[in-house]
Amino acid sequence: MTTTPGPGTPGLLAATLPVLDLAVASVAAVQDAAARAGRTAPAPPPDPERVAAAFASDRLLRVDGEPVDGFAPLSGFFPAADGWVRTHANYPHHRARLLALLGLPHAAAANPSRDDVTTALAARSAQDVEDAAAATGAIAVRVRTEDEWRASAPGRAAASGTPVRTAVRDDDGAPRPLDHGPRPLAGVRVLDLTRVIAGPVATRTLALLGADVLRLDPPGLPEIEVQHLDTGQGKRSALLDLATRDGRARAQELLDAADVLVTGYRPGAVEAFGLGLPPGAVRARVTAWGDDGPWAGRRGFDSIVQAASGIALVEGSRDGTTSPPASATPGALPAQALDHATGYLVAAAVVDALAERAADGRGRDVDGALARTAHALLVAPRRDPAHGEPRTPGPRCVVAHRALLDGRAVTLTTTRPAVDRLAGEGVDDYAAPARPWGQDDPTWPA
């Protein structure tokens, strides 16, 4: 990743770490992969302001003109007895597990406050909270310095490779040529089993390049619908229960007719249902920690990876210290940059894998990990501890559509695609706004 923003970008995604460099390079990787696959001239570097807007989409998102709070009250940084922890409790089941871990009322009707959680966490060591969370399925980590993370076993695993890896499999299928032109994935079917941000960003990008993307979710696992509307453009969304025999059979039928499977669950979670990948298909996976190392099976989100890897303390320090003490007040990147960058890099790798399959018919595995993206950001040059506040991208970077949210019609303002040119053609918007979550049939179009 060598693309560097040019002049005219001050303040965009401003941070101590070079977030804008990472963002522009990841989107450029998609445009370059699309040009190779479609056999078109390379696209110019993407517009940094459009890229910055897309990465900070949750902060620019508006429902009837009003901003949306991306984090629940019990998500965030809390002081522990000997440092800091970061929690993630945006989903009801994660909130319930966190409260149970702390011995607080966690039934659906219970409503412990942030102050209650603060008091409970202050009495425990950060490491104790992290260990208990890992054992119970709650989401909380100890905030580390980057030196602590680098010396740890999961940190060494994160440093073991590039953000996204591709491996060739031996299950030969029939070569299938891609379309030549700006939308090289026309006719490609993508089965999308992802949630939250990184995976949905990857599949949204594949849809922008012409793929038919069908997202499947289990009916019993709640979704944050406004988040889906921010990342679901150009896709269809259906519910299917893989815990039932009929659901697994239907999923296998869909998978048998797919070219790409993208998953965003922990390693082994989808494989446990016994689904078989058709020969020659591309399998892509997005995880927090990767598929090796001692944390491979742990849950995680962008904010959690930032906290564990040292990014939070780097961004909390404004005195130029390269490795602030663990007692320093943590901060955060100006966007969920690990999610977005990993999503674009996975999409680029999938496009390359499909182009290579067109020649040899062989399947490929694409593996993206937020922790490896965090490592790439931490070792990148051009830190700026004296940065100012992030600049908000201009109104040309957003677009408004009518949408359904929780059954009511709203005006939804979302960001335009970060990919702004394909084969010399300007890309102004996605093919269609996100459809209501779970409202489509689990079928491929005839």
Q: Which residue is catalytic, options 217, 339, 352, 365?
A: 339
Nearest of 120, 121, 99 to residue 109 by alpha carbon: 99
DSSP labels, 153-191: HHHHHHTTS-SEEEEEEEEE----PPPPSS-TTTT-EEE
> What is the token pair recorded at 295?
């944390």
Contact predicate 88/94, CB 8 Å: yes
Q: Which H helix or E strand runs over 362? A: strand 362-369
Q: Measured in whole angstroms, how far is the alpha carbon of residue 195 from the centre of its chain?
A: 8
d(CA 143, CA 305): 9
Q: How far is CA 275 from CA 164, 181, 260, 268, 357, in A?
A: 23, 33, 13, 11, 21
Q: Do 414 and 420 form a contact (C-beta atoms < 8 A)?
A: no
CB atoms < 10 A from the CB of 7, how many? 6
For the chain, the maximum distance between any two Cα atoms, rounded to a whole number of angstroms, is 61
Beta-bridged to residue 362, according to DSSP, are: 172
62-63 β-sheet, strand order: 66-67, 62-63, 408-415, 398-405
Is 339 tagged catalytic? yes
How far CA 47 is from CA of 381, 400, 413, in Å, comes to: 21, 20, 20
Strand-pair partners of 408: 405
Give the three-state DSSP class for 421.
strand
Beta bridge partners of 165: 367
Classify residue 440 by its DSSP letter: B
Cβ of 107: how many Cβ atoms within 10 Å? 9
Size (the chain), residues: 446
Radius of gyration of the chain (CA): 21
Owner of token pair 């082994």: 268
Residue positions annotated with a catalytic role: 339
